[in-house]
């Protein structure tokens, strides 16, 4: 879900702060991924962070010398280092965030290069804590965690649960790089804006499966990646998100922390789920690739090859988008998706009008590097007011943000 740097302009600038904790090893993957994607990365290690990761390691991964407290009074062009770094950064990521550094941030304290740089900067700050369960659950730590999030600059990725380095099973595991990276790219795109705060979004994703017997079904190659990207981008911008999804890879589902998830299999199940969540939604985005038909019968056990019908009798499944359009309230907005081959605009415009949509996103599935299953996409967004936006090929998370940008500009 990388957004990447853009040819022809300066690379995006990310400052990574590493405080003490064994989870520091995970940050190496984050630094490496950002640098390989063409971003400018600088790293500051606290004294405790150096106990786990040597400066040479992160310097090699970042393609730039790392900074420690020994460099605190190092002048760059006659200016203090923490001032230069604070003004340089577009985004500051602190991972792992220790209990000690969290306490300093919550109370505005600065006694090392990292915390001084935080106070000398105005950019968004992404926090990924990691610590022992008992430490994390201490009332003082929880007070600091809640207090720091009252500052609009700070964006949080709460720790997960699992086996910790101390062999304890509980909450305190730092978020995985696969969770941290999309949040970084979201913040670089939005500049930390929470412009979807107060919005409740209902999004569908993936495919549906209509079974002939327990092992055979009618389906399509939709992976759910576009719907997940829409959900994550909206979450990172402050929305409350519910995602109704069809069968999905476990690694993709694992990235949905903070999102209410409702998994389904068939079109009828998705229909029921979408209608049940509809009353609470402000925006409804139908990004799932739902089957149009299903077998009229479903065998309880696997059919032998000789017993398969020569002609498969089919029945229609519920038209979810049309039903949502009929049942929605005046304040609710309904956005559809249209996966097309050939001319993508005319069929999408027809679907927008027939289904009573407020907007539709048409994307080609016959163009290399876009459509089903991939990490990139492209599209044309159309609104019922006649607005049209072409989204050039880009990572799906970037496309998701462009969709939200366009809808906000359109006054949704």
Q: Hey, which residues are catalytic here?
A: 166
Q: 24-42 burial by CB neighbour count: b if 16+ within 10 A, else e?
A: bebbbebbbbbbebebbbb
Q: Cβ neighbours of residue 121 under 8 Å, at least 6 residues apart?
A: 15, 85, 86, 87, 89, 92
Are the C-beta atoms of 190 and 162 separated by less than 8 Å?
no
Residues 119 and 123: their CA atoms lie apart, in Å, by 10
- For 244, 249, 259, 299, 321, the CA distances from 290, given in Å and listed in that order, are 12, 17, 21, 22, 10
Q: Cβ neighbours of residue 185 under 8 Å, at least 6 residues apart?
A: 1, 2, 3, 395, 397, 398
Residues 263 and 400: their CA atoms lie apart, in Å, by 21
Are the C-beta atoms of 123 and 92 separated by less than 8 Å?
yes
Which stretch of DSSP H or E encloses residue 377? strand 376-383
Separation of CA 273 from chain center: 22
Residues 319 and 290: their CA atoms lie apart, in Å, by 9
Are the C-beta atoms of 235 and 284 separated by less than 8 Å?
no
Separation of CA 1 from chain center: 8
């Amino acid at each position: 879900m990388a957004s990447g740097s853009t040819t022809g302009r300066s690379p995006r600038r990310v400052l990574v702060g590493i405080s003490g904790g064994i989870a520091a090893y995970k940050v190496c993957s984050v630094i490496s991924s950002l640098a390989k994607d063409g971003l400018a990365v600088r790293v500051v290690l606290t004294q405790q962070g150096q106990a786990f990761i040597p400066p040479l390691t992160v310097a090699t991964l970042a393609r730039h010398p790392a900074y420690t407290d020994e460099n605190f009074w190092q002048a760059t062009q006659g200016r203090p280092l923490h001032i230069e770094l604070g003004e340089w950064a577009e985004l500051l990521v602190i991972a792992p965030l220790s209990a000690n550094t969290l306490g300093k941030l919550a109370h505005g304290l600065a006694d090392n290069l990292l915390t001084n740089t935080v106070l000398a900067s105005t950019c968004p700050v992404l926090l990924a804590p990691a610590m022992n369960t008992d430490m994390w659950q201490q009332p003082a730590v929880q007070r600091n965690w809640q207090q720091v999030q009252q500052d609009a600059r700070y964006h949080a990725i709460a720790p997960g649960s699992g086996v910790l380095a101390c062999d304890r099973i509980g909450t305190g595991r730092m978020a995985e790089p696969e969770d941290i990276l999309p949040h970084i790219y979201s913040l670089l795109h939005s500049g930390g804006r929470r412009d979807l705060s107060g919005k409740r979004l209902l999004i569908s994703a993936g495919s549906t499966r209509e079974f002939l017997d327990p092992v055979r079904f009618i389906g399509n190659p939709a992976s759910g990646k576009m719907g997940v990207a829409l959900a994550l981008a909206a979450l990172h911008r402050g929305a409350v998100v519910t995602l109704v999804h069809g069968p999905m890879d476990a690694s993709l589902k694992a990235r949905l922390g903070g999102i209410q998830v409702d998994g389904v299999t068939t079109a009828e199940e998705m229909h029921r789920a979408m209608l049940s969540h509809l009353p609470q939604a402000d925006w409804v985005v139908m990004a799932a690739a739902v089957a149009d038909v299903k077998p009229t019968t479903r065998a309880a056990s696997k059919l032998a090859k000789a017993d398969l019908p020569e002609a498969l009798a089919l029945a229609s499944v519920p038209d979810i988008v049309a039903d949502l359009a009929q049942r929605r309230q005046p304040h609710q907005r309904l956005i559809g998706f249209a996966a097309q081959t050939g001319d993508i605009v005319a069929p999408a415009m027809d679907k927008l009008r027939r289904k009573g949509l407020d907007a539709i996103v048409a994307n080609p599935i016959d163009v290399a590097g876009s459509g089903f299953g991939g990490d990139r996409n492209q599209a044309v967004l159309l609104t019922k007011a006649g607005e049209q936006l072409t989204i050039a090929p880009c990572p799906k998370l970037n496309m998701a943000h462009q969709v939200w940008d366009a809808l906000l500009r359109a006054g949704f």
